[in-house]
Amino acid sequence: MIILDLLLLNILVLCAIAAIRVRDLLSAVIIFSAYSLLMAIIWLQLGSPDVAITEAAVGAGVTTMLFIATISKTRRYE
Amino acid sequence: MYKEEILILRVVVRFMMPFIQIYGCYIIVSGHLGPGGGFAGGTIVAASMILYALTFDVDRALDKVPHKHATMLESLGGIWFMSCGIVGLLLGGNFLANGQIGVPLGTPGRLLSGGLVPVIYFGVGIKVAMTIMSLYFSLVEEDR
Amino acid sequence: MLELLQGLANNYFYCYALVLFIIGFYTILSHSNLLKKLIGLNIMQTSVFLFFVALAYVKDGKAAIITGEEGALYTNPLPSALVLTGIVVTVSVTAFALVLLVKLYSYYGTLDADEITMLRGNPE
C-alpha cells in the first residue's frame, strides 16, 4: 500500500509543477483538474470517503468549469 | 465535420443526463448512511445542468431553470434549514436538536433513520444545487 | 539526526503536504499572471487539506461509518468535517476571484499584474 501511496504522491507533485510551468492557461486548468482527481484518490486511501467524493465533485468538476468559463471570457495565453 | 461532432456530443449528453441526476439524488438521500450528503449531491445535480448548458446553449438551459425559479428555490432551501433548526428550539431543546426532543431515530443502517438529518440534507441539497448553477450562469451570460 | 530522518520517513504525507504548500506559495509570489496565481492559491488550500486528512488517519483503520461491528478501528471523523467546511470556502473564494478577474479584464484588457500596475501609472 505504501508503494501505491508514494506513486500517487509523486504524480501529484509532478502535476502541481506542470500546472504552474505550462504557458497555455487552458492546459494548466486541465492539469489542475487531474491534480484534484488524484488528490481525491489519495483521500480515499486515507480513509475519508466523505471528503473524497466532495473533492471529486467540486475540485475536478465545478472549479474546472468556472475556470474554463473565465478563460472563454478573457484570453487563453499568458 | 464540425456539425457531426456536435451531434455525437449532444446525443451522448442527452443519454447521460438522467443517470447523473439520479446519482446526485441518491447521494443526497443516502447522505446519513455513507459518504456524501447535501453538499456533494447538490454539486453533482448542478454539474449535470452545467453540462447541459455547455453542450447545448445557455439560453436553452435558462429556459429549463430560469433565474427567478433558481433564486426562489435557493431561498426556500435556506428557510427549510432554519425552520428545521427552530423546531428544536420551540420544543424545548437546542438549535437543530434531534434525539433530544423525541424525534424517532430508527435503527442505524436503515434508510429511515437518523431523525432530522435526511430532512435537513434535502434542503441543503436544493440550496447548493441552485447556488452553483446560478454561479456558472451569471459568470457566463454577464454582458447581456 | 537519524531519528529525525526516520520520523520524516514514517510521516511522508506531511513532507508531501509541505512540498505542495511551497509550490503554491512560490506560484503566488513569482508569477505575474493573475489566473496562475489563483491556481497556486488552490494548490496551497488542497495541501492544507491533505495535511488535515493525514492527521486523521489511523493505521489499519476503516472509514468512520457505523457497521455494527464490535471493537473496530476507525479514522478520526472530526478533521473530515473541518475539511468539508474548508472545501466550501475554497469554491466560494475561487468563484468570487474569477468574477473579479472578468471585471478586471473588461476594464484594463489584460490579466497581467505588472501590466495593470503600469497602466494605472504612478500616483506621484
Number of domains in chain B: 1
Let me know: does C37 contact A26? Beta carbons within 8 Å: no
Q: List the domain range (segments joined by +) for residue A43.
A: 2-72
Beta-carbon pairs below 8 A across chains B and C:
18
Asked if the structure places residue A12 within a domain, the reply is yes
CB contact under 8 A, C68 and B108: yes
Let me know: does A75 contact C106? Beta carbons within 8 Å: no
Q: How confident is the model at residue B1 (pLDDT cuts 50, 70, 90)?
A: very low
State whether residue C24 sits within 8 Å of chain A by CB.
Answer: yes
Asked if the structure places residue A77 within a domain, the reply is no
Q: List the domain range (segments joined by +) for residue B97.
A: 3-143
Asked if the structure places residue A37 within a domain, the reply is yes
Q: What is the nearest CA distance from C80 to chain A, expressed in angstroms?
A: 6
Angstrom distances, CA of residue C15 to CA of A21, A29, B24, B141, C5: 22, 25, 35, 43, 11
The model's pLDDT over A15-58, given as tens digits with 9 standing for 90+, comes to 999 999 999 999 999 999 999 999 999 999 888 898 999 999 99
CATH number of the domain to which C15 belongs: 1.10.287.3510
Number of domains in chain C: 1
User: Which of A5-19, B123-137, C110-124 is predicted with the least confidence, judged by mean pLDDT?
Assistant: C110-124
Q: List the domain range (segments joined by +) for residue C108.
A: 2-120
How many whole angstroms from its chain centre is CA A16? 8
State whether residue B109 sits within 8 Å of chain C by CB.
Answer: yes
Give the three cell numbers for residue B29. 438521500
At residue C74, does pLDDT exceed 80? Answer: yes
Number of domains in chain A: 1
The model's pLDDT over B53-88, given as tens digits with 9 standing for 90+, comes to 888 888 888 888 888 999 999 999 999 999 998 988
Which of C100, C102, C105 to substitute to test the interface with B, most B CBs within 10 Å? C102
Angstrom distances, CA of residue A1 to CA of A4, A34, B110, C11, C17: 5, 21, 33, 14, 19
Largest CA distance in chain C: 73
Q: What is the nearest CA distance from B34 to chain C, expressed in angstroms?
A: 6
